[in-house]
DNA sequence: GTGAAAGCGCTAACAG
DNA sequence: CTGTTAGCGCTTTCAC
């Protein structure tokens, strides 16, 4: 591997018979250069194989043309959508995309932000585990956009959990269920709180009993304990914090000889890859997760304009819809 | 969001009563500074909240402390392992991790490499779609390490497909199958070639008939056409290019009322998330994918030492093993 | 519209 | 072991 010496603005300037600053403008400020000059400079640059150094540009201008996305755990297929959407949007804008995993830890999140802050223009925080005050604090010094998390004063894009949870309750009620139990995710999870709130509100409105158990690890492995606890509760419908947990519950139920949906109905959140593979196929709340990642980067890229407009931070709520498969059915008589 | 002015080497130098270069050394070349001086400088820096600018360091030194990983498609859970392993290894070394998706296109791969080459110290190419000569060509100017791909003269780490494919043939033979069909992945896929070679060699050694069909899209959606083609072939065992395709095949077979494994046995590759969820659960070749990603970054980070040692590029082959689930059974009588 | 000059924050010789 | 001196490649005033 040998790195050939690359041409600089000066090389191009000399060759094109202009000043280095003109070359710079030709690339970065097209309108501040005579069109003809610009074309000529670009031709020469092309011929010489010149490409601006992102590093030097960033050092001088302060703009890095890079965004970072921080995700709790890549092993959860749920994050595919947001990651992919964010990467695509960044790539489309010629923006470099940095990905970091935080292992479900708020500290790791903080560390990564600190470490990367000089190298990026902003961060997309997916399902951030940061406490609201810590997030708001960080938002003062960094450009942050939240995905599937909301914090007062910060821009965010979420898939609608309130309406989604209401859809779940409606579905269950229409099947004759009189009680449900929510098997909750981590305490630090904002989503868990949101979901429970909407679920219990909706249940009350329909005269259903609702209880919350947990926290459980939001992974397939967490399903054992969750299923056992759910059975004890006596509820005929269980709503799991996410599909991973729901799949784990399905397994445990099968092991214990409990039939789904005849004896118990099971619902998940996210509609991850695999939700329609398991048996019975999982009823779950789906949403435009890829779009959420895309929109987050979009907001990041237009952050300057937003601030200027004085509208306050943007908050996007994307519509969700319940996908009904085989894991939900009429309440047992 | 406001970026407070950050202290520079000069600020720290003044405060600590040393030269800027000493501050620089205290951080970058610990051994070239008196231990006491270093401690003092570090203390002052700490107190002032100084952190070196990665950009400036990179611009001056040429070392970016960043690696990029390029992956064909994030929608394929197979890549979770390598991505996660690579990210973790990078994070452990304090290296920034850039992730890019290439949408299964060799051109996109080339473009990304060109675009990022100034910003990173090297690339990990997962299941690269580049033709061997193009890859070798690029390797002359860039620091590249391949994952699940081998090219003469380039460092690589692969999960053992030869032995793995032999394990598959053995398993099938032991169940009494006399014929198998390989449902191949994309023509540009090196793995597809490797797998077919090993499969056909193994089959010949055992007196089994083996044929290859395809290419098929290595996704669940590709399973329809693949299953139909397999059925026509008359083989009692089908080996799919990867688990995604295998899962698609399982579905199509179920739709057509073909019982697995009673009438046909199905085997996949990769043991992705979901392989044990589907029904019947999939028999598939598993390997330490996360370790592969980890090792690739490891090689990248020690590339300098490797070159110096004159051993030639490192080639790691990680052991694979067949996970037998429910999709394979005795050949029909 | 274009050029000259002054750095962005850091490291790498080269002296001492 | 430490200080001095030049830049890395680019953008950005400020003149013209």
Are the Cβ atoms of B277 and A278 closer than 8 angstroms? yes
Q: Across residues B14-34, what is the average pLDDT? A: 94
For the cut 70, the answer to whether the pLDDT of residue A306 exceeds it is no
Note whether A252 and A299 are same-domain residues: no
Are the Cβ atoms of B99 and A99 closer than 8 angstroms? yes
How many domains does the structure of chain B reveal?
A: 3
Residues of A with Cβ-Cβ distance to B274 under 8 angstroms: 273-274, 277
For the cut 80, the answer to whether the pLDDT of residue B101 exceeds it is yes
Q: Across residues A275-304, what is the average pLDDT? A: 94
- Does A112 fall in a domain? yes
**Last residue of one domain, picked from the residues A61, A76, A104:** A61
Burial class of residue B13 (count of CB atoms within 10 Å of its CB; 0-12, 13-18, 19+): buried
Q: What pLDDT, on a 0 to 100 scale, did the predictor assign at position B240?
A: 98
Q: What pLDDT, on a 0 to 100 scale, did the predictor assign at position B73?
A: 86
- Does A310 fall in a domain? yes
Are B189 and B213 in contact by the 8 Å Cβ rule? The answer is no
Q: What pLDDT, on a 0 to 100 scale, did the predictor assign at position B187?
A: 83
Residue of A4, A53, A144 with shortest CB distance to B141: A4
- Does A3 fall in a domain? no
Note whether A167 and A147 are same-domain residues: no
Q: Sorting pLDDT into bands at 50, 70 and 90, what band is A3? A: low
Q: Sorting pLDDT into bands at 50, 70 and 90, what band is B115? A: very high
CATH, residue A16: 1.10.260.40
Within 8 A by CB and 6+ apart from A166, the residues are A198, A201, A202
- Does B3 fall in a domain? no
- Does A329 fall in a domain? no
Give the tens place of pLDDT for each residue, A101-114.
Answer: 998 899 999 999 99
Q: What pLDDT, on a 0 to 100 scale, did the predictor assign at position B323?
A: 98
**Distance (Å) from the alpha carbon of B201 to chain A's nearest alpha carbon:** 33
Note whether B202 and B284 are same-domain residues: yes
Q: What is the mean pLDDT of chain B?
A: 94
Note whether B218 and B70 are same-domain residues: no
Residues of A with Cβ-Cβ distance to B248 under 8 angstroms: none
Are the Cβ atoms of A84 and B101 closer than 8 angstroms? yes
Share of chain A above pLDDT 90, in %: 90
The residue segments making up the domain with residue A228 are 161-288
Give the β-pairing of A321-323 and A283-286: antiparallel
Q: How far apart are CA B331 and CA B333, in angstroms?
A: 6
Give the tens place of pLDDT for each residue, A166-182.
Answer: 999 999 999 999 999 99
Are the Cβ atoms of A118 and B55 closer than 8 angstroms? yes
- Does B324 fall in a domain? no
Are B192 and B241 in contact by the 8 Å Cβ rule? The answer is yes
Residue B67 pairs in a beta bridge with B97, B122
CATH, residue A254: 3.40.50.2300
Note whether A54 and A193 are same-domain residues: no
Cβ pairs bridging A and B (under 8 Å):
126
**B-interface mutation test, from A273, A279, A284, most B Cβ less than 10 A away:** A273
> Could you tell me which chain A residue has the CA closest to the CA of B67?
A98
For B6, the token pair is: 């950050």
Q: Across residues A19-40, what is the average pLDDT? A: 95
Give the tens place of pLDDT for each residue, A66-115.
Answer: 999 999 988 889 999 999 999 999 999 999 999 999 988 999 999 999 99
* A304 or B91, greater pLDDT: B91
Q: What pLDDT, on a 0 to 100 scale, did the predictor assign at position B62?
A: 93
Determine which of A302-316, B56-70, B143-157, B205-219 has the lowest per-residue pLDDT on average.
A302-316
Note whether B94 and B195 are same-domain residues: no
Q: What pLDDT, on a 0 to 100 scale, did the predictor assign at position B307?
A: 55
Instruction: Give the bases of strand C that a protein CB approaches within 7 Å.
Output: 1-13
B273 touches strand C (CB under 7 A): no
> Could you tell me which chain B residue has the CA closest to the CA of A277?
B278
Q: Across residues B138-146, what is the average pLDDT? A: 95
For B55, the token pair is: 């950009």
For the cut 70, the answer to whether the pLDDT of residue B107 exceeds it is yes
For the cut 90, the answer to whether the pLDDT of residue A312 exceeds it is no
Note whether B75 and B89 are same-domain residues: yes
A54 touches strand D (CB under 7 A): no
A34 touches strand C (CB under 7 A): yes
Output Rg (C-alpha) for chain B, integer angstroms. Answer: 25
Q: What pLDDT, on a 0 to 100 scale, did the predictor assign at position B2?
A: 62
Residue A220 Cα distances to A266, A327, B55, B75, angstroms: 14, 16, 41, 20
Q: Sorting pLDDT into bands at 50, 70 and 90, what band is A303? A: confident
Q: What pLDDT, on a 0 to 100 scale, did the predictor assign at position A214?
A: 85
- For B259, the 3-state DSSP assignment is coil
Q: How far is CA B101 from the centre of its chain?
A: 12
**Distance (Å) from the alpha carbon of B236 to chain A's nearest alpha carbon:** 24
Share of chain B above pLDDT 70, in %: 96
- Does B330 fall in a domain? no
Note whether B104 and B53 are same-domain residues: no
Q: Across residues A226-247, what is the average pLDDT? A: 97
Residues of B with Cβ-Cβ distance to A125 under 8 angstroms: none
Print the SS3 string covering A133-184: HHHHHHHHHCCEEEECCCCCCCCEEEECHHHHHHHHHHHHHHCCCCEEEEEC
Instruction: Give the bases of strand D that a protein CB approaches within 7 Å.
Output: 1-13
CA closest to C9 C1', residue: B56
**A-interface mutation test, from B54, B71, B141, most A Cβ less than 10 A away:** B54
Give the tens place of pLDDT for each residue, A193-211.
Answer: 999 999 999 999 999 999 9
CA closest to C8 C1', residue: A60
Q: Across residues A221-232, what is the average pLDDT? A: 96
Question: Which alpha helices (H) appear in chain A, and where do they start and end?
Answer: 9-16, 20-28, 35-48, 54-61, 80-92, 106-116, 132-141, 161-174, 190-205, 223-233, 243-255, 289-301, 303-309
Note whether B177 and B260 are same-domain residues: yes
Share of chain A above pLDDT 70, in %: 96
Note whether A225 and A282 are same-domain residues: yes
Note whether A277 and A310 are same-domain residues: no
Residues of A with Cβ-Cβ distance to B116 under 8 angstroms: 96
Q: What pLDDT, on a 0 to 100 scale, did the predictor assign at position B53?
A: 96
For the cut 90, the answer to whether the pLDDT of residue A262 exceeds it is yes
Q: What pLDDT, on a 0 to 100 scale, did the predictor assign at position B188?
A: 80
Residues of B with Cβ-Cβ distance to A247 under 8 angstroms: 277
A91 touches strand D (CB under 7 A): no
- Does A325 fall in a domain? no
Note whether A220 and A254 are same-domain residues: yes
């Amino acid at each position: 591997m040998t790195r050939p010496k690359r041409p600089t603005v000066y090389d191009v300037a000399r060759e094109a018979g202009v000043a280095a600053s003109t070359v710079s403008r030709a690339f970065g400020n097209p309108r501040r250069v005579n069109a003809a000059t610009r074309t000529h400079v670009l031709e020469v640059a092309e011929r010489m194989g010149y490409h601006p150094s992102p590093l030097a540009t960033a050092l001088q201008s302060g703009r890095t043309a890079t965004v970072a996305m921080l995700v709790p755990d890549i092993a959860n297929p749920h994050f595919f959508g947001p990651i992919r959407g964010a990467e695509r949007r960044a790539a489309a804008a010629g923006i470099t995309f940095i990905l970091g995993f935080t292992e479900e830890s708020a500290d790791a999140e903080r560390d990564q932000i600190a470490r990367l802050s000089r190298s990026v223009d902003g961060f997309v925080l997916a399902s951030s585990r940061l406490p609201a005050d810590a997030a708001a604090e960080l938002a003062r010094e960094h450009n942050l956009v939240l995905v599937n998390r909301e914090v007062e004063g910060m821009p965010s894009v979420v898939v609608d959990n309130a309406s989604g949870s209401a859809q779940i309750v409606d579905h269950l009620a229409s099947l004759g269920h009189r009680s449900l139990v929510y098997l909750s995710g981590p305490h630090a999870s904002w989503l868990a709180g949101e979901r429970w709130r909407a679920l219990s509100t909706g249940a009350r409105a329909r005269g259903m009993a609702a209880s919350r158990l947990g926290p459980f690890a939001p992974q397939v492995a967490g399903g054992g304990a969750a299923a056992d606890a759910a059975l004890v509760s006596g509820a005929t419908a269980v709503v799991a914090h996410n599909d991973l947990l729901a799949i784990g519950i399905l397994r445990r139920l099968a092991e214990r000889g409990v039939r789904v949906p005849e004896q118990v109905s099971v619902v998940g959140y996210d509609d991850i890859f695999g939700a329609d593979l398991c048996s019975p196929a999982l009823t779950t709340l789906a949403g435009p997760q890829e779009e959420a990642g895309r929109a987050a980067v979009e907001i990041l890229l237009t952050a300057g304009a937003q601030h200027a407009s004085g509208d306050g931070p943007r908050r996007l709520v994307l519509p969700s819809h319940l996908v009904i498969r085989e894991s939900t059915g009429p309440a047992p008589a």
